[in-house]
Amino acid sequence: MNAALSLFRFSLLVGPCRPLGPRARAAAFAIGAVLFWATWPTLAMLAHPAPPFLVFGLAASVGFAMSLSLALMRGRAASFLATPPRTILLVSVALLTNNVLYLFAMRRIGPAEANVIAYLWPVLLVLILARWQHERLGPLRLSGIALGFVGAGLAIGPTFALGFDPYGVILAFLSGLTFAIYAAIRSRGREPGDVIGPSMGLLAVLAIGLHFVFEVRTSLSLSQLSAIAVIGVVPLTLSNVLWDRASRMGHTVLISSIAYATPLAALALLAIFGVVAVSFAAVAGALLVVIGALAASGLGGRRP
């Protein structure tokens, strides 16, 4: 926990660093977000089988408490609490939906497969931005989008042998679609400060409320509580702070291309820690998603 707090402080301090240009800073923030996002499937499995809404509500509470404490220590409590309500509502609802859908999908089709499908979101983001900007997608980018979906199909192929679960696939896809829409909207955000930390408060209230309405009360072990606390600090709060800062710097293609590495990094952590068995199909599917997303983003073109 102390190490995670130190990393969070570092992420907030690198913002004013002058030697890095805007493009390099955006890349640095995006790389940090990817590294922290990649811990999400492993930590989710360590918290399993805790109810998803409870996991997310407790994790968001930790994220909010940590963010507010840091704002108080740095004398920025006023700006922290002055975050526009509309922004707080957008961030909290989007992150709640995205992450809880992933947790439900993970239980049905496995963390590796759910992760690959959910990380179609950069491909979906390309489609959304192209629509908003009235762009025409050329053959290369259309092929990349198709390849991404082929990769997702390959990743879930082994689940046919266990009894294919279409609901798990749909939940994972909707998780990715939710984040793609959220990322597109936040790329136009102009708030000067952190909007993730303040949003964790509302997010926690919503998730815990949903837990009491829809989930069975349960007791959690110390290991589950520890995993949930780390979720609140690393893949929930810290990663999204870094991503939100990167996305507001305008280098959408660059940071999206970096985000494509997340499913591979997440699969590597699952394999390293032996939390679950990672199939060859999941790895191959993740590679196809990455390659397809890179092609779909049109990195070779002149887009900003």
Residue 283: its pLDDT value, please? Answer: 76
Average confidence (pLDDT) over 95-101: 91
Residue 300: its pLDDT value, please? Answer: 42
What distances in angstroms separate CA 160 from CA 38, 112, 155, 163, 267, one per listed residue? 26, 15, 11, 5, 20
Q: Give pLDDT tens digits for 41-70.
A: 889 888 888 898 999 899 999 999 998 988
Q: In terms of C-beta density within 10 A (0-12 exposed, 13-18 middle, 19 or more buried), how is residue 222 classed?
A: exposed
Please say if the pLDDT value at position 221 is more than 50.
Answer: yes
Cα dihedral 32, 172, 291, 188 in deg (nearest 10): -50
Residue 225: its pLDDT value, please? Answer: 94
Tell me the backbone φ, ψ of residue 10, rounded to 5 degrees.
-60, -40
Q: Give pLDDT tens digits for 156-209.
A: 665 554 456 888 889 999 999 999 999 888 877 777 677 888 899 999 999 999
Per-residue pLDDT band for 3 (boundaries 50, 70, 90) equals very low
Residue 20: its pLDDT value, please? Answer: 62
User: Could you check whether the bond before residue 19 is cis, i.e. omega within 30 degrees of 0?
Assistant: no
In sequence order, what DSSP letters do the residues of the chain get, joined into one string? -HHHHHHHHHHHHSTT-SSS-HHHHHHHHHHHHHHHHTTHHHHHHHHTTS-HHHHHHHHHHHHHHHHHHHHHHTT-HHHHHTS-HHHHHHHHHHHHHHHHHHHHHHHHH-HHHHHHHHTTHHHHHHHHHHHHTTPPP-HHHHHHHHHHHHHHHHHHGGGGTTT--HHHHHHHHHHHHHHHHHHHHHTT---SS--HHHHHHHHHHHHHHHHHHHS------HHHHHHHHHHIIIIIIIHHHHHHHHHTTS-HHHHHHHHTTHHHHHHHHHHHHTSSPPPHHHHHHHHHHHHHHHHHTTTTS---
Q: Who has greater pLDDT, 43 or 135?
A: 43
> What share of the chain in percent tops pLDDT 90?
23
Residue 205: its pLDDT value, please? Answer: 95
Q: How far apart, in whole angstroms, are the C-alpha atoms of residue 35 and residue 224?
A: 22
**CA 215: distance to chain centroid?**
24
Tell me how long the chain is. 304
Average confidence (pLDDT) over 12-25: 59
Residue 124: its pLDDT value, please? Answer: 82
Sequence-separated (6 or more) residues with CB below 8 Å from residue 6: none
